[in-house]
Structure 1
Amino acid sequence: MRYTRAMKFAAIADIHGNSLALEAVLADIRNQGISEIVNLGDFFSSPLDAEGTAELLRGIDAVSIRGNHDRWLIEQAPEEMGKSDRIAHDQLGSDTLDWIRELPATLIWRDEIFLCHGTPEDDNTYWLEQVTQDGRVRSAALKDIEARAQGIEQKLILCAHTHLPRTVALADGRLIVNPGSVGCPAYIDIEPAPHKVQAGNPNACYAILEQQGEDWSVTHRHVPYDHLEMSRIAMERGSPSWAEGLATGWISNETFAAIAGR
């Protein structure tokens, strides 16, 4: 049975332990008169405030799926983790890690919306963007985006992972929406080739989705908060790329070269 009542809800993703950004987003959601939230994963991993983020999440009744970093927090031994995962892991209690273990990787919510973190098959693959061999990040071709959506019947598809707010319309009218990142507007990754992803502003991002008949409207929200305080914490914990991304929404070529070896 399809869920027939018109829906309006908020989608958040990629908080990455940024409790101040999450606090600002949750306040903005309340100010919009919205009570329902879906959370698309990567809640904690960062040099920031994993436990503070967990406390905020315990206070809301969000529908949640796990992301790649959440999976690594429960699949890897602490000594095998990357720096951001290890810092978060050391802050979190066993109850929070057990909560992650119970979360699905994908979910169909109320028959109307398909939720995933990266793609339906892989939480660590970009869906709406692709990385070239020389490390440029660009929009994926529509045919490749649509190929990953085969078999999904829902008209609204939500994904995350790249931290870039986007809405893409498929040829058959379905929408794929990435709400952007609540807490990490720019980052460096080395797979599949060294690259940087940059939102271009330091604000906390999320999306509002509202059903209008058979269609969906999408509003991307950019919420200011004390991003310089979180940047300061990242620098104190020896993470200059995090500090730079949080402060500006960009990663400089110098920082990228120092970390990615280019």
Structure 2
Amino acid sequence: MKMAFISDIHGNAVALDAVLKDIHSLNVDSIAVLGDVCYRGPEPKKTLDRIRSLHCPVIKGNADEWVVRGVREGEVPEQARTMMNAERDWTVSQLDEDDLNYLEQLPHQFHWDLNSCLKLHTFHATPESLFDVVMPQESPSGLNEKLMVEKDADLYLYGHIHLPYVRYVEGKCLANLGSVGLPFDGQSKASYVVVEADEDRFRVSIERVPYDVEKVAEQYADYGYPNAETMQRVVREAQPPS
């Protein structure tokens, strides 16, 4: 069994196409998406259509929730909320009612039997929340308490923080996918994870894929995206918006 997991695409269809091409070259058995499909990118409709055409499992992320109902007080710094809702409104203007219904009805987590020996638990941010942030440097006890709540699982995968990593805690594996569309680790290459399982053995790898960053940066301006200068800096520098 070989599975590819992608997340945090954020409307970056150029990066998504590069990743899907890379995944195809690896001859994976299946693909799953762990949330944040189209918000904060220049091509939300194209990105969502690509994901839906895969006919694969898709989990809801916080950005998918924001597209459906907006960014609420207390969810982001207040000085950023007005602009983020302007970005959300622009994103919604590019979608149709069926797209919004699709995002609204996405599940929050999936459990997988990779085979008869290995179980995998996947979610966007934590099993309990679409918004909580658990960073790579979190203590083992913190990771165990916040992310590894399904004790019968052997592997745990999540997205949300845009920082790919793999750690082993109490004999189990925990990995973050990073981000397809908006990596935050200073490397402007799309990130995703491949899991290979064979009986009681498994391998987790972080894959990095180059894409045309400048094309995406230009799209923000060409398509009239609100907050274009900030998002251009994010994709070019692979750093969080300041």
Tell me which interval the TM-score lies in, with the shorter structure as reference length. Answer: 0.7 to 0.9
Compared with structure 1, are the counterparts of its residues 77 and 200 closer, same or farther at alpha carbon in structure 2 (3 Å cutoff)? Answer: closer
Compared with structure 1, are the counterparts of its residues 49 and 219 closer, same or farther at alpha carbon in structure 2 (3 Å cutoff)? Answer: same
Written as runs of structure 1 = structure 2, the 5 A alignment for 1:12-161 is 12-76=6-70, 82-110=85-113, 112-129=119-136, 139-148=137-146, 149-161=148-160
Contact persistence 1:202–1:245 (CA under 8 A): no
Deviations 1:182-201 (A, max 9, x none): 0012xxxxxxxxxxxx3111
Deviations 1:75-114 (A, max 9, x none): 3399986233222211111111111122111121337221
Structure 1 unpaired stretches of 5+:
1-6, 130-138, 186-197, 257-262
The code of the aligned residue for 1:100 comes to L
What is the CA distance between 1:212 and its match in structure 2? 3.3
SS of residue paired to 2:98: helix
Counterparts of 2:92 and 2:167 in 1: how far apart (Å)? 34
The code of the aligned residue for 2:153 comes to Q
What is the CA distance between 1:24 and its match in structure 2? 0.5
The code of the aligned residue for 1:41 comes to G
Structure 2 unpaired stretches of 5+:
73-80
Counterparts of 2:71 and 2:133 in 1: how far apart (Å)? 25
Counterparts of 1:115 and 1:43 in 2: how far apart (Å)? 16
The code of the aligned residue for 2:211 comes to Y
Counterparts of 1:99 and 1:109 in 2: how far apart (Å)? 22
TM-score by length of 2: 0.86
SS of residue paired to 1:17: coil
**Runs of 4+ residues over 6 Å off in structure 1:** 77-81
Aligned length: 225
What is the CA distance between 1:69 and its match in structure 2? 1.1
Contact persistence 2:71–2:85 (CA under 8 A): no
Written as runs of structure 1 = structure 2, the 5 A alignment for 1:173-212 is 173-185=171-183, 198-212=184-198
Compared with structure 1, are the counterparts of its residues 52 and 118 closer, same or farther at alpha carbon in structure 2 (3 Å cutoff)? Answer: same
What do you get for the CA RMSD once the two structures are aligned? 2.2
Give the counterpart of 1:217 among 203, 225, 231: 203
Deviations 1:31-82 (A, max 9, x none): 1111411100000101410001012112212211100111122233999862
Counterparts of 1:150 and 1:241 in 2: how far apart (Å)? 36
SS of residue paired to 2:68: helix
Percent of aligned pairs sharing the same letter: 27
